[in-house]
Amino acid sequence: MSAPGRPRLVDRRRPGATPADEILDAAAELFTTRGYTATSTRAIADAVGIRQASLYTHFRTKSAILVSLLDSTVGPALEQARRLDDGSRDPREVLLTLATIDVEGLLASRWNVGMLYVLPEVAGEDFEGFRAARSELRGIYRRLVARCRPDLDPDEPSLDLPFRVVESVIPHRQDHPGVVIDAARWAGAATRVVDID
């Protein structure tokens, strides 16, 4: 049996199975509504109802919290993309499946975490893993499009269209809060752009 930790300042305020999940939920809200730079770890701890020192037992730094949030938007789609991209299935079917999974992932959080992709801090070395994962995911999209459209030059910018259409759900979600987005329809649109010349 583990030793009890320090008691919370208040009763649970956030959804999440663990204190780390609660911290991520609070951080996602604050980063997307107040801004990353304007949000302190103290504000995140206060929003969860824990001491700031307790927050540091789960995340060493504020950037570690952001890394975890960003990874949650790319990691699951990338894992599925690696599994799906085995060359044994129709690339259009795989592209549609991947786009659906990706859109669903970008919509899964209560907060529009994808909008944090453009933060200047994401260019820093703490975020190399996230940038590499996102680049790998983009590369898989490009390979799938190239298999659907072998007539296209490998450097053709249109190979990025499905990936970009999927990611366009991020500003749409931000510009139209409360609007229900049908992930399958959005993914279908991302897949149909493969046929645009």
Query: Residue 89 burial by CB count (10 A; 0-12/13-18/19+): exposed, middle or buried?
Result: exposed
Task: Indicate the CATH number for domain 19-60.
Answer: 1.10.10.60
Task: Return the pLDDT at 105.
Answer: 94
- 163 vs 160: CA distance, rounded Å: 5
Between 3.20.20.80, 1.10.357.10, 3.30.43.10, 3.30.830.10, what CATH number should domain 63-195 receive?
1.10.357.10
- Find all residues with CB under 8 Å of 187, minimum gap 6, and list them: 96, 99, 100, 102, 103, 166
Global pTM reads 0.88
Every domain range in the chain assigned CATH 1.10.10.60: 19-60
Q: b/e for 42-67, b at 16 or more Cβ within 10 A?
A: eebbbbbbbbeebbeebbeebbebbb
- 128 vs 126: CA distance, rounded Å: 6
pLDDT in tens, 86-112: 889 999 999 999 999 999 999 998 899
pLDDT in tens, 160-173: 999 999 999 999 98
pLDDT in tens, 121-157: 999 999 999 999 999 999 999 999 999 999 999 888 8
Cα angle at 105 between 173 and 169, to 5 degrees?
25
